[in-house]
């Protein structure tokens, strides 16, 4: 699934693909914001980790878990 994160005062967004479900991502972000945590962390398909400060989150876009289609659709 694709995740895109907007960060305040930054012209570019952080984008990556993860194997986590959409519900898992939403839950971890909600828990971090509700508990007043200073950051939220993510792991992508390649094993890279991303730590984002919660104070600078502008938005988080969670893509669908549907696989991409290849070829022509008629």
Instruction: Write down the pLDDT at residue 18.
Output: 92
Residue listed under structure tokens 């008629």: 74
Instruction: Write down the pLDDT at residue 74.
Output: 58
Q: For the chain, 74 residues long, give each residue's pLDDT as a single digit of tens.
A: 899 999 999 889 999 999 998 899 999 999 999 999 999 999 999 999 999 999 999 999 998 656 566 666 65
Question: DSSP readout, 6-73?
Answer: EETT-SS-EEEE-SS-HHHHHHHHHHHHHHT-SEEEEE-TTS-EEEEEGGGEEEEEE--SPPPP-S--
Task: Name the residue ranges covered by the structural domains of the chain.
Answer: 2-62
The predicted model scores a pTM of: 0.77
How many angstroms separate the CA atoms of 2 and 6, rounded?
13
């Amino acid at each position: 699934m694709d995740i895109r994160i907007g960060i305040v005062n930054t012209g570019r967004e952080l984008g990556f693909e993860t194997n986590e479900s959409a519900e898992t991502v939403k839950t971890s972000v909600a828990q971090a914001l509700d508990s007043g945590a200073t950051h939220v962390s993510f792991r992508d398909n390649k094993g890279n980790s991303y730590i984002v400060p919660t104070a600078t989150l502008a938005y988080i876009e969670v893509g669908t878990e549907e696989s991409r289609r290849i070829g022509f659709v008629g």
